[in-house]
Amino acid sequence: MRSTAEARRVTVLNAAVSAFARTGFHATPVTAVAAAAGISEAYVFRLFSGKLGLFVAAAGACFERIATAIEAGAERATGGSPEEVLDAMGGAYAELIADRDLLLFQVQAQAVTDIPEIAEAVRAGYRRVATFVQDRAGASDAQVQQFFAYGQLCHLIVTAGLEQVPEPWARALTAGIRHP
């Protein structure tokens, strides 16, 4: 026995998050995920129930990592006020998405929410993150809303590559955003 199936699943999910993040659900062949994970395509199909099952599982892993990072960030808050905790969470998130995979995966997942299973996975992910932010920071509805609005703005900045655009409108949109 070279490895347990459970260990393989973890490896495959890491590869899947990266691969789907770059080229999306429909344009990413399962062979690409398998190759990145170093195993055969056939075995990926045995470990997960089809390409859709793989994507949904990858979504779970993606939001799992985000939630964990934000929770850790909250622990490092210097004070206990909602503003301070939210700021610490934002900083932790900014660090996490430096490699872009987790951010781009969210964009890709949002784009295929016409598939009900994926829509549900996205809701579950945001439910987990949003409830934690609200409860842990003790923030108001408006503060939580603002937190996510500027998070979503990051998606636009990164996908459109606005950090590289020197024009005034792009500078306005990227101003003060912690390094993507």
Partner DNA sequence: TAAGTGTGTGAGTGCACACTTACAAACAAA
Partner DNA sequence: TTTGTTTGTAAGTGTGCACTCACACACTTA
What does the binding site for DNA look like in residue numbers (CB under 7 A)?
1-6, 8, 27-31, 39-43, 45-46, 50-52
For residue 140, what are its two tokens? 């108001």
Distance CA 68, CA 154 (A): 19
Region near its own copies per CB under 8 A, out of 7-15, 31-39, 46-54, 122-130: 122-130
Distance CA 68, CA 129 (A): 9
The yes or no reply on residue 111 touching its own copies (CB under 8 A) is: yes
Helix ranges (H only) for the chain are 5-27, 30-37, 41-47, 50-75, 82-96, 101-111, 116-137, 141-159, 168-174
| Contacts to its own copies from residues 21-80, by CB under 8 A | 22-27
Near its own copies by CB under 8 A: residue from 35, 60, 110, 117 = 110
Region near its own copies per CB under 8 A, out of 11-19, 40-48, 67-75, 109-117: 109-117
